Structure 1
Amino acid sequence: MTNPGSSHCGSCAGIALATPQPIDNPPGQPAIAYRTGVHATFKASLLARLSSPALPALAGLTRRDDADFSVALCDGLACLLDVLTFYQERIANECLLRTATERRSILELGRLIGYQLAPGVAAATHLAFELREVPGDAAQAPDPVTIPAGTRVQSVAGQDEQAQTFETVEAIEARVEWNALRVRTETPWQPQAGDTELWLSGAAVRLAPGDALLIVGAERLADPGSERWDIRVLTEVEADPENARTRLRWEQPLGSIYPPVAPAAAGVEVHVFRQRAALFGHNAPDPNLFGNADSNLAELIDTRSSPWHWEDFALDPDALDLDPDNPRITAGSWIALVSNVLGRGRAGLPGYTELYRAARVAHLTRSDFGLSAKVTRIRPDTDENLTAKRFDLRRTLVLAESESLAPAPRPVVAPVYGARLRLARRTEGLRPGRAIALGGPRQRLRIAPHVAGLVLAGDDGTTMPLAAGDELSLLAAPERLAGGKALALEPDAFDAAVGDAAVVLRLTLLDRGGRTGRLEARGSQVRLAAVGEDDPPVTEIAFIATDPTAVVHERDHTVLRLAEPLANVYARAELRINANCAAATHGETVAEIVGSGDAQVANARLALRQGPLTFVSASTPSGRRAALALRANDLLWEEVPSLYERGPIERVFALAIDEQGRARLRFGDGVEGARLPGGDHNVRAVYRKGLGLAGNLPPGRLTTLLSRPLGVSGVTNPAPATGGEDPETEAQARDNAPLTVRTLDRAVSVRDYRDFARAFAGIAKAHALWLAHGPARGLFITVAGERGAAVPEGSDTYRFLRAALTRYGDPALALRLASFCAATFRLGLAVKVADAADADLVLPALAARLGAAFGFAARDFGQGVSVDEVVAVAQSVAGVAAVHVAELQRSDVAEPVFAARLFAEVPRSGDDSPRPAELLTLDDAALALEQLP
C-alpha cells in the first residue's frame, strides 16, 4: 500500500512505492492471496520510480499524463504484471490441496503422497439364472450346463435412465432342479413321548372326536408282553382338504412317565377301533331273580337270601366272545379290553386297558347264562392280565374292528431363519462356498384370541397397543427370555414355544403400516399365521459355508450350513431357493490392440481407447482393482501400484487415470521394470468398461439376457446391485487424500480403522468405537455407502472391507461391521421474502440450500439439528428477510411434537447390544415452506 510518509502538505505524494503489497492469509480460507499488486498499484509504483532520486537518469521524464510515451510504457508494463501476478496467484492456489480447483492439480498433488484419485467402482450383485424345464420331473432334465464367466445381462431402464450392462465374473454349474429348491415342509412321522397329535393321509378318514386310536409297532408284534403301544381317545379331528390330510389330536401325551415306557419306534402302525363291543354275558340276567313254585316274594327281592351265580360266569383267556358278532373282525386284527371302572382310567378310557391281537377268529352262536346270540370268538395272542379280576364280563368294554390308517408326514411349519437349511429332498451337486438366492414373504404372527394388554414398543420410541387377531411380520430371529437374558431359539424350538404359556418370547415385528418394534409376550399369546396374497416377498443372497461339512447329504434330504445367518425370517411353505447364482459386476468386456512395443523406448506409455475402465471391489487397501488383463507378445503383464524397486525383467506396468478419466499405462525402463518388447501391434488388452452409481439397481431390474447360454431361459437379480461409486470429485479428494498418510495402508488405532474404512472404495462415511467390556467387547464400525446407500452384509463392498480390515489390521481383534441407520426429520418454515425479491425464485433457492446443508454429503454420524442452525442456513439465502421455524421433528415420531434440537444416536461404549450410528438428514418430501405476507 502507498505510504505518504510523515509529510502532511502532499508535496511528496506520488513518489512512494505501492508494490509489492504484503500477503496475509488467515487459516481456513477457500483460496489464498498471492498477488503482489494489481494494475493500479503496479502503475503507481512505476510512476513513483520515475521521480525516485535513486534513478537520476529518469529525472527528465517529468510528464505524467497518459499520452506521454513513458507513462504509456509504464501502463503497458503494469498490465503485463497484472496478468502475471493473476496467474501466479492461480498457480499458487493450484499448489495447495484445499485451494486447488483444477482436477489435474489435485490429481498431481495426490500422487506426491502416493494417492490416486478414486476412479470409481462398479456395482456388484448376484444373478439368479433359470434353466428351461423339460416336461415332467425337473430331476430328469439333461446334464448340468455351464454358465460361463462373461455372460452379459442388461437392465430394464427406468424413467430418465439408461440400460446398464452387467457381466458374470465366474463360471457356474447350473441345473434345472436348482431353479426353485424348497426347504423341508414335512418330516416322516415317528411317535415321540409327549406327542398329542398326528396327521393322516386323506381328508375323508371317517373319524370323529371320541374315536379310539391305536399306535403300535414291531415291538408289540415281536413280544406280546411289550408295553410300547398307546391307545388314545381323539379330542379333535381337523380335515385339510387342500393338502389331502387330516390332523388328529388327543389330550394325554404318548408314552408313560411312571412306569417309564416309550411309544412304539419300529414298524409303527396306526389303527382306529371302529367298534365298541362287550363280552358275551354282559347282559345275562341275575340268577337270583329266577323263582320257582316254592319261592316267595321276599326271597325274590332280597337276593342275599340265596346267592346264586351262573356256572363258569368268568372270562375265558383262550376264547373271548364279543357281543355282538362282527364279521369284519379277522385274524391279525387288534382288540383292546378296558376294565370300565370309573375313576381308574387314563388317556380318555375308563379303567385299566390291555391290548391283544387276534390269533384266531370264529363266528358262532353261543347259548349260555340264559342268553343265546351270535358272537365273534377271538383267541388272543397272549393271556397276559386276562383275568376275571381285571376284566369282569359285565363291565368290560371291548375296542374292536381295528382299521389301519395311513399316517402322513408331519408338517413342518416353523419359519425359516438362522444358518441352517434342510432342503425338501436330496440335492446333489451343491458345493461349499456357493451362493444361493432366497425369496419369499416374511413369516406372519397373529395375536391369539382373547388376548389383551400386549404393547408393541416401536423403534421410534412410541408404543402401539395390540388386540386379538392383529397380524404382524417377523423381522428378525425370535428370542426366548429366561433369567433376564435373551436366548436364541432354533426354528423348531420356536414352533414348540408358540402356544406354550411357560415361555416368554421377545419378537422383532413389522406392522402393516411399516412401523417396527419389539414385543415381549408369552408363547400362548401368539400364533403362526398364514401369509396373505398381498404380502410382498423379500429376497437375499446367502452363501454356503466354505468348510467341507457345510453340505451334508442325508438319505432323503440335503442339509446346508450357511456362512452367516439369514437376514430375514421366511414363511416356510412359500420360500424358494435358486442355486443357479453367479456373481456379476457392472461393465462389459472389450478386447483391443493397445499399441506396438518398442524396446528402445524407456518408460513407454500407452492408453486404452475406451472407458471408463471398470474397477471392481477387492480386499486391497484402496478397496478396488482394475478389470484389466494386458499381454505383450501373448505374455501376461502384471499391474503394480508403482514401478519403484521393480526388477529389470519383471513384466509389470503402472496404471493411472488422468484428469479426463482415460486409463494410461506406463511401463519400465529396463532398470525398474521391464521394457515393452518390440513388435507390431503386439500389445493387447482385454478389459471391461463401465462403472458408477448408475449401476446401483434395485432387485428385479437385470432381466434381459444379452448372452444366452444353452438351456438358460431367464435371469434376474434377487438382491440389489450395490457398491457402485462414481469417480472421485475434487471435493472428495481433498478429504480423502490425507487419509492415506494417516493409515499408510494399515490399521492400528481406532481412528486408523475409521480412516481405513472411510477411504475404502464404496464407503462414503465411517464411524468407529471401541467397546471396552461386555459381550460386545471389541471394535464396532458403522459405514455408509455413496449418497446414503446401505452396505448390506452380503454385498461385495461389505465382504471385501471386512477382509481388508482383518488383513491390514489386527486379525485377532473382535471386529463388528454394520451399515448405518438412516434417520430423517421433517421441517416446516414460515418465510418472509424481501420486498424487492421474487418469491418464485427465493423459495426454490431456499429449498435447495436446505437440502444441501442437511443432506447426506453435509452431515455426519451423530450430528444433530437445531433451530438456530436451520435459521442460519435459511438466512444465508438472498431474498430471505425473516424466517420462523414452525415444525422440526424426526420423521419416525408419530406424535407432532416440536423440538428445538434433534439428536442422532451413536453407539456408546457401555452398550451390551450397540446399534449402528445414525445419520440424520432432511426428508425433502417433508419440507414445507410457507410464505408470510
Structure 2
Amino acid sequence: MKPDTCHCCKPPTGGTPVTINNRPGLSAIAYRVGDFANFRQVMFQAISRSPELHHLSTRLSDDYAITIFELWAAIGDILTFYQERIAGEAFLRTAGLRDSVLRMARMIGYELAPGSAATAFLNFTADKGKHVQVPVGLRVQSVPGQDEKPQKYESLETITVYDWLNEQAIFPAPVGINPLAKGSMSAYLSTGKVGLKIAENLVENDCLLLFDPIKTELEPVEKLVVKKVEIEHEHMKVRWSGPVHGTQWDMTSRCYKLVRSVRLFGYNVPLEYPHPNKNESTGIIDTWTIKENNFEIDGDGGRQLHLDSRYNDIKVGTPLLLMEGTKQQSFLTVTAVDQYDKTLGLVSDTVTRITVTPQFSKIDDCRQVVIYELTGPPISFWGFSYPDSIDSAIVYIPGHRIDTENVEIARPIKKNTYQKGFTVNLTDIETDRQTILNDEKIDPITAKINRAELTGNEIVFDAITDDTETVSLLSLDRGSASNVTGLYSARIEEDFEFINARSFLKVTIGKVGPRPIYFIKRVTFNLQQEAAWLQGMIRMADSDPLFRQSIVGTVDNHFIVLPGVRGETISFEKTSNDETVIVGLGLGDDQIKIISGFLSGRLDSVLAYTNLSPKISVRIGPVGPLTIKLDSTKTILTDVADDLQSKLNSVSIAPFFKYARVEVFDQRLAVFPGMIGTLPQDYLKIELSTNNAIALDRSSALLLGNVASASHGETVANEILGDADPAIPFQKFTVKKNPVTFVPSSAEGGVDNTLQLFINDVLWKEVDSLFDTSKKDTVYTTRINNDAEMSVRFGNGVTGARPPKGRANVMARYRQGLGLDGRVKAGALKTLLDKPKGLKSVLNPAGADGGANPETLDNARKNSPTTVRTFDRAVSLLDLEDLARSRSEVAKAKVTWVWCGDTQVAHLTIAGQGGGYFSASALARIHASLTAQRDPNRRLLMGNSKPIPILVTATLNVEATYVAAK
C-alpha cells in the first residue's frame, strides 16, 4: 500500500483529547483537551463511522444537524476553557486569584505577608518650665502635601518630655590649645562670670597689651586691637583685627586693656648740659663746664616714679606696666598720686608723682622706660577650643555645676549676664532614652543614652595593661584617692606681719561652725610654718571629721585649705579682736577662690616602684585618658611629686595638664589641674549608642531628647465582635475595620499583630495554629482573606478552648492602617490630635521608615516556597535572601560573599517597597531577626541598596519622507 505522503487525507485539525505538554517555568499552563475546532472535527469524523448517520453528507454550518454538532462543540470549548482556568489556580506560579495563592501557601505553612506600618520618631516640645508625660497611643496627624491624604500616627512608648531636652546644642570634647599662639586671630575669654566681666569692658578698637615679666628676652610687649566681641553659646569670644605675632605668649602671659603709654620725667632731656662756674670772689660766671645728666632712678627704694607731665586722671589702684627695654618689666599698682616739682639738669617742671607697689628694680636710664597705663580686670583666656565636627558618640553640653547631681545648662547671655537656663538633675536622664542627633547638613541620626554624668576638671587615675601596680603604689587608685574641693587664698605678701600677739579668725566647714582659731605673732613670718599652724588649729577646733581631717598647704604664697569631707565648703570670717588679719592672709570672702584637686591616700616618705618602667593612665575632665611614664629612680615623695608634675605638664597642651601642679600635703600627693584658681568649664557629658557613623557639624549640631517611637495607624478601642457561644466549635468572628495594623519587629516574620482579643475582659493569646494546643489553652488564630479582612477563630474544646458563653463579651482592641501611604516625609507629622497640658508641639525630624503594602501575588509566588526551602533556618546564602524577602518591609534582597580583613563574611543588600531605604535602627532590627534564624558565629553585614542612574544618549534621525517639524 502506498503511504500517504501528501497528507491530503488527514483531517484539518487533530482529534481529542489533545496531547498536553507544558515546559517548566510557564506563567500560564495549557490544560484543555480540546477547543471548538477539535470537538467539531471529532464529531464530523464520528458521522462517517455511524451507520445511522452515514447518509448525512453535508458539513455546512447552515444545516440544522450540523448546527447541533457545533453547539455541542461550543459547550465543550467553554467547559475546557474554564477547566484550564481552574487548573491554573491549582499551581502556585500560574494562579491568578489571591485566594488561590493564599490556600496553596497555607498548605506549606506560609502566610502572605499582611504588610506593615511605617514607623517614625517624633520629637516633642514642652513649654518652658514644664515636664509632660506622653502616653502610649498619643495621636499625631500629618499635614498632607499635594495629592496626599493625612496620615495618623500613634506613639508606641511612654516618655517624660522635659523642656531642657526640646533642643540642645551639643559639642565635641574640647581640645587644649594655646589661645595666644602665633597667628591666632581669636580666643575664648575665661569661662563663667570672669569672662563676662572681661567682655563687658571690651569694645571694638580697644587696644590690649600682652606682656610677660618673666619672658623679656623676646619682644617685650605686643598690642592687639579688638575687632569684635561675640557670644558663642556660653562662651565669650574676642577677635583681633590682626594675628598674634609673638611666639612667647601663652596662658601665663598677662593681658590688660591699654589706656595709654607715658614716659618718665627726663626722657627728652639731653645727655649733657652746660653748667656755669661762678668765681667765688666776684660771684660772676667766668667758665662753663659740660656735665652729664644722671638718668638713674632709685625712686625712694623702688616705689616712686615721676612722670613726664601732669596726669590728673591717674587714680589710686591703677595697674601699670614699667618696661625698661629688655632689662626689666615690672607690674605695678598705684598706691598714691600727687604733684611734684622735679628738676633734671637745666629742665624743671611740675609733674605727676606716683607711688607704686611692689618695689621695682633700679632704673639705669629713665629715657628707656615706658609706662603703660592699664585698666579694667586682667584679661584671661580659656585654653581650649572645640573641633569643627563631632565624630564621637560622647557629646558635651556646657553648663554650670550646682552640686554633684545638678547642673544648669543653656544659659543665654544678655547684656554680659547669664540668664536663667535649665536645671537638670542626672536622675531625670533615663538609660536607653531615645534621642536624635541633627545638624544642617546630614540626615538625622538616632541614638540612645547609655550614661550621663557631670564633668569639669575632675581627675581620674587608672592602671594600664602594661602596669597594674603603680597607680595603687602611689595611692592614686579610685579606692584610695578622691577628688576634693577647697579654698585658695589671695596672694600673701612676703612682708606681712601680725599686728597682735594673738590674731583670731572663725572658720566654718559645711554646716559645722563657726569655730574660733588664732595665730601667734612671730619674729619672722614664714608661710609654710603658718600653714602647718593653721592646719593644726582647724583640726583642734572641732571633733567632726570635717575639721579633724582638714589639710592646709601652700602654693606660690597662697594658702590651700581642703575640708575633711569631699564636697563640703569652707569659709573664714573676721572677729572683733582683729579685723585686718583675714585680709592679710587672703582669706576674705572677696579674696578666696574655690579650687578642685585630687588627693591621694597617705604615703611613706620613701617609695619603691615595683616596675622598672612605671606607667599610669590619667584623665582630667573631658581630656584623656592619656598614659604617662614615670621615672623609677625617683623614690623620695617630694621627688615623685615633682616627676609626676613634670610628666603631666608635658603629656598634653591642654591647660589641665600643662599647668597642673603636684604638691605634697600631709604625706599625700595633691594634684591640682590647670592654673590654680581658674574656674573650669563644667559639662553635662552624655554617652550615646548608635548604629550610625557620627559626623556632625559642630556649629549646628543639636540633640533632640524628647523622642518617642511612633507608627502609622489609629487605635480602635473596645470593639464588640459578637456573642461567644461554646456550642459552636471553631467559632469565628470578623474584625470590623480593616486593614489591621502590623508593626515591624525583630520577631519571626518581621511584624507583630496589634490585635488584642478580650473575652469577659480576659486577654486571650494569638497563636499561629491550634495544633498541639489543649482544651484549656485560651488561644485563637487569625486569618486575612482576599479582601484584607481579618477574622479570628477559637478552638473546639479539644485543640484550643471554647470561648465562654456571653452576650457581647468578645471585644477587640487593635489599630487600623498600614502600607506605603504612611511613609510620610520629614516634618510632615506636626498636628497633635491629643495635646496634654504643657505639651507645645511635635515634629518628625526624619522621614518615616519602612511601611509595606500587603504582599503581592508575584512576591507570594516567589516567597512561599521559603518555608520548605529553608524551614526557617539559614544555612546558605540563598536562604538569607529567602528569609529576608519573607519580611513585609523587604521588597528585594541580594546576598554575596565579601572579604572583611582576612575573613570572608556574608553581605546582604536589601531594598524596601517603593525603593525605600531602611534606617540604621530598622537594619539592626532586621539583622536581629535574621540572626535568630542563622548561625550567629558567622558575621553578617547588611546595607541599603543604592540606585545607580543610567544615562542614555540617543540621536533621532527623521526619514526624509516624513515632515520633521511634526
TM-score, reference length from structure 1:
0.64
- What is the CA–CA distance in structure 2 between the aligned matches of 1:407 and 1:237, rounded to whole Å? 14
**Paired residue total:** 690
Q: CA deviation at 1:612?
A: 0.6
What residue is the counterpart of 1:167 in the other structure?
154
Match of 1:251 in 2: 244
1:28 aligns with 2:25: yes
Question: What's the counterpart of residue 15 of structure 2?
Answer: 18
1:443-462 residue pairs with structure 2 within 5 A? none
1:399 to 372, 385, 389: 372
Residue 639, structure 1, aligned to residue 632, structure 2: no
The answer to whether the 8 A contact 2:724-2:804 is kept is yes
Please give the per-residue CA displacement for 1:102-155, whole angstroms capped at 9, x wherever unaligned.
Answer: 111111122222221122111111222333x3xxxx3xx24x111221112222
State the AA in 2 paired with 1:319: R
5 Å matches for 1:56-455?
Answer: 59-64=51-56, 78-131=73-126, 133=127, 138=128, 141-142=129-130, 144-183=131-170, 194=181, 196=184, 197-198=186-187, 199=189, 202=199, 205=202, 208=205, 211-213=208-210, 233-240=222-229, 246-248=238-240, 251=244, 263=252, 271-283=256-268, 285-286=270-271, 289-292=274-277, 310=294, 314=298, 317-324=301-308, 326=311, 333-340=318-325, 351-358=326-333, 360-365=335-340, 367=342, 369-370=344-345, 371-381=348-358, 386-388=361-363, 392-404=365-377, 414-416=388-390, 418-425=392-399, 426=409, 427-428=424-425, 429-437=428-436, 440-442=439-441
Work out whether residues 15 and 47 of structure 1, in 8 Å CA contact, stay in contact via their aligned partners in 2.
Answer: no
Distance 1:606 1:355, change over 3 A: farther
CA deviations on 1:677-701 (whole Å, 9 max, x unpaired) are 3322222110011111111111222
Secondary structure of 1:336's counterpart equals strand
Report the 3-state secondary structure (helix = DSSP H, G, I; strand = E; otherwise coil) of the residue aligned with 1:433: coil
Distance 2:38 2:205 in 1: 111
Gaps of 5+ in 1: 53-57, 217-224, 341-350, 443-474, 476-538, 836-880, 883-929
Alignment match, 1:707: 834
Change (3 A) 1:776 1:412: farther
Q: Give the partner amino acid of 1:335.
A: L
**Match in the other structure for 1:663:** 790
Post-superposition shift, 1:710?
Answer: 2.0
Correspondence for 2:781 among 635, 654, 660 = 654
Does 2:794 match 1:819? no
Aligned-partner residue type, residue 247 of structure 1: R
Q: Within 2, Cα distance between the matches of 1:12 and 1:766?
A: 58
> Matched residues in 2 for 1:187 and 1:328: separation?
43
The question of whether the paired residues in 2 share the 8 Å contact of 1:119 and 1:615 is answered with yes
Residue number among 804, 807, 814 corresponding to 2:932 in the alignment: 807
Structure 2 counterparts to residues 681-830 of structure 1, below 5 A: 681-774=808-901, 778-794=905-921, 797-827=922-952
Q: Secondary structure at the match of 1:597?
A: coil
Quickly say closer, same or farther: Cα 1:181–1:776, change in 2 above 3 A: farther
Corresponding residue of 1:221? none
The one-letter amino acid of 1:701's match is A
Conserved? CA contact 1:314–1:392, under 8 Å: no
- CA gap of 1:718–1:49, structure 2 versus 1, over 3 A, is same
Does the Cα contact within 8 Å between 2:765 and 2:780 map onto a contact in 1? yes
- TM-score normalised per structure 2: 0.62
Alignment partners' CA distance in 1, 2:55 and 2:439: 94
- Measured against aligned partners, the alpha-carbon deviations of 1:551-589 in whole angstroms (never above 9, x if no partner) come to 657685423333237778665555554433221111111
- The 1:553–1:114 alpha-carbon spacing in structure 2 relative to 1, beyond 3 Å, is farther
* Partner secondary structure for residue 111 of structure 1: helix
Q: Give distance in 1, aligned partners of 2:312 and 2:888.
A: 83
Q: Deviations over 1:815-850 (max 9, x none)?
A: 443222223234466779999xxxxxxxxxxxxxxx
What is the alpha-carbon root mean square deviation over aligned residues? 4.6
Out of 31-40 and 798-807, give the one that drifted further.
798-807
Decide whether the 8 Å contact of 2:827 with 2:843 is kept in 1. yes
Q: Deviations over 1:224-251 (max 9, x none)?
A: x999x99852344212478896424662
Using a 3 Å threshold, how does the CA distance of structure 1 residues 755 and 373 change in structure 2: closer, same or farther?
farther
Contact between 1:753 and 1:768, CA under 8 Å: does it hold in 2?
yes
Q: Is the 8 A contact 1:287 1:309 kept in 2?
A: yes
CA deviation vs aligned residue, 1:255-306 (integer Å, no higher than 9, x gap): 67xxxx9627xxxx852242423445545554574353699999967x8xxx
1:590 aligned to 2:716? yes
Q: Please give the secondary structure, in 1, of the residue aligned with 2:786.
A: coil
Please give the per-residue CA displacement for 1:631-653, whole angstroms capped at 9, x wherever unaligned.
22222222222333334433322
Structure 2 match to 1:887: none
CA-CA distance at 1:76 after TM superposition: 6.3
Relative to structure 1, is the Cα distance of residues 558 and 25 closer, same or farther in structure 2, using a 3 angstrom cutoff? same
